[in-house]
Amino acid sequence: MLEQLEGSKAMAKVIGLCRPQVVCAYPITPQTHIVEGLGELVRTGDVQNCEFINVESEFAALSVAIGASAAGARAYTATASQGLLFMAEAVYNAAGLGLPIVMTLGNRAIGAPINIWNDHSDAMALREAGWFQLFAENNQEAADLHIIAFRLAEELSVPTMVCVDGFILTHAMERIDIPEQAQVDTYLPPYEPVQVLDPEDPISIGAMVGPDAFTEVRYLQFYKQQTAFRLIEKLAHDFKKQFGRAAGGLLRTYSMDEAETVVVAMGSVNGTIKDVIDEMRADGILIGLVCLITFRPFPTRALQEALSHAKDVIVIDKALDAGMGGPLASNIAIALRNLAQTPNMHSVVAGLGGRPVTKAALHRVFRQAVIQPWDGPHFLDLNERVIAREIHRKGKARRSGPSAENVLKLLERERAEKIAAAEGTGR
């Protein structure tokens, strides 16, 4: 049924239709309205046979989910940003134990400086934790991906993170098609654990593993991720058959006919990129887009196929590895290194801490990539005047103070100077 809904509320409804049995909630800033929505649905009886547990930390939230999942219940939680980092140890643990927990990550920046707005720093920080990571482009897909995520997680016993851009999607109202319970039930069978804590058939879970077997246990994690590619494609295919619309899969392409320049990006920024591409195509520029949905496992082969004919590849990262550059760009570079003709790689770091990624800025950077390429990552819309002034100031005195506060002061001064200048010309 079509409804006008906030992204978080839509996700809550659809997660409810997935019949979660244990939902853990902790409102670390920043949270989304997903668990609140679920809490409401449990109270009203719209979601039945579900334990909604208010825990004392994100670490506890995922730990409760770990216990519930190991004991045979379908477990769900949601987090973002600092919350994900606070539960990091349990994130790895859930994957190592092979527990098919589904978690929504309302992607946000990580401090310091403290910032509650969107980027992908959180998802990137734990990209090696052994979870599947799926990125939603819009709120319909954000809702739909959860149905796929439960099935994917449970078929392979691998926890799955549905990554949804914080604020941009989680707090945005959109028209969303909420499926019927019967449809979801057909697509998503009840949870059948491969291992379960049961007094009738006692097992030990979580044993100490030494050097004699650790590599093998880890290899099996790698193996499962590698076998997931076909399943992810099949689940997307099944989803379309069941629900009549596309969701999930490894990646989606857009405007790829004879594309010489191809942009690669994840999440909601793809909407803006598509508009820019349409406008550039109208100008006769052969540009296309690969919208990456599955980031873990990383679909190397699918990316090679999609990008093998590109002359230039522009990767948009909404995260920064301060000692390296854009993490997605690094991953794509590795994926493409063995192509017969390796395209020119251009890394763009954009939208950090919620900075809007504008069409104007994307137009500039997409055109510049081909005619005036740069080395390393390009920081979209970087205020270079402020950077120059701050670096200069830092060089002058040892006790130069905290950069974050200094940058804010400099911006304030710039604004004041601008106003003064405007008033001056006005007189």
Partner 1 sequence: MNEIQKLKFYQKGTLTVGNRLVDEAQRNVQASLSRSNSLTCGHRACQGCGEALGARYAIDAAMRASGNNLIAVNATGCLEVFTTPYPETSWQMPWMHSLFGNAAAVATGVAAAMRVTNRAGTRVVAQGGDGGTTDIGFGCLSGMFERNDDVLYICYDNEGYMNTGVQRSSATPPAARTATTPVLGDEPGNVFGTGKFVPKIAVAHDIPYVATASVADLHDLEMKVTKAMGFRGARYIQINVPCPLGWGAASHDTIRLARLAIETGLFPIFEAENGRFTHVRKIRQRKSVAEYLKLQRRFAHLFKGGKEDPRVARIQAIADRHIADFGLLETPAGAA
**What is the signed CA dihedral for 271, 323, 108, 153, rounded to 10 degrees?**
80
Tell me, residue by residue from 166 to 205, as one string, x for binding to partner 1 by CB under 8 A and - for no binding.
Answer: -------------------------------xxx-xxxxx
Min CB(110)–partner 1 separation in Å? 21
Stretch 136-165 residues interacting with partner 1 (CB under 8 A): none
Rounded to the nearest whole angstrom, what is the least distance from the CB of residue 204 to partner 1 in the complex? 4
Which residue of 12, 35, 50, 277 would you call a contact of partner 1, by CB under 8 A? 50
Give the bridge partners for 345, in sequence order: 313
The yes or no reply on residue 282 touching partner 1 (CB under 8 A) is no
Q: What is the separation of C-alpha 105 from the centre of its chain, rounded to a whole number of angstroms? A: 7
We find the least distance from the C-beta atom of residue 48 to partner 1, in angstroms, to be: 10
**Residue 152 CB, nearest distance to partner 1 (Å)?**
21
Q: Judged by CB under 8 A, which of 38, 47, 60, 266 binds partner 1? A: 60
307 is a contact residue toward partner 1 (CB under 8 A): no
Counting contacts by CB under 8 A, is residue 31 touching partner 1?
A: no
Query: Per CB under 8 A, which region of 90-98, 294-302, 330-338, 352-360 contacts partner 1?
Result: 90-98
Residue 132 in contact with residue 94, Cβ under 8 Å? Answer: no
| Sign, CA torsion 173/179/185/188 | negative
User: Do residues 197 and 71 lie in contact, with contact meaning Cβ atoms separated by under 8 Å?
Assistant: yes
**Which residue of 73, 149, 152, 178 would you call a contact of partner 1, by CB under 8 A?**
73
Using rule CB under 8 A, residue 210 touches partner 1: yes
Q: What part of residues 243-272 is at the interface with partner 1 (CB under 8 A)?
A: none
Secondary structure of residue 312 in the 3-state scheme: strand
Q: Which CB sits closer to partner 1, 217 or 334?
A: 217
List, in order, residues 6 or more apart from 49 with CB less than 8 Å away: 19, 21
- In the list 57, 186, 215, 344, the residue contacting partner 1 (rule: CB under 8 A) is 57
CB of 53 or CB of 231, closer to partner 1 = 53
- Environment class of residue 58 by beta-carbon count within 10 Å: exposed (0-12), middle (13-18) or buried (19+)? buried
Interaction residues for partner 1, span 9-28 (CB under 8 A): 21-22, 24
For the chain, how far is it from start to end, CA to CA, in angstroms?
60
Element (H, E) at 187: helix 181-187
Of residues 126, 147, 11, the one with CA closest to residue 80: 126
CB 88 within 8 A of CB 94: no
In 3D space, the residue among 209, 211, 140 whose CA is nearest the CA of residue 176 turns out to be 140
Give residues 388-417 in contact with partner 1 (rule: CB under 8 A): none
Q: Is 132 in the site for partner 1 (CB under 8 A)?
A: no
Are the beta carbons of 357 and 379 closer than 8 angstroms? no
For partner 1, the closer CB: 36 or 390? 36
For 65, list phi and psi in degrees, rounded to 5.
-60, -40
Could you say whether residue 40 binds partner 1 (CB under 8 A)? no
- Site membership for partner 1, residue 70 (CB under 8 A): yes
Footprint of partner 1 (CB under 8 A): 21-22, 24, 49-51, 53-57, 59-60, 63-73, 75, 89-90, 93, 97, 197-199, 201-210, 213
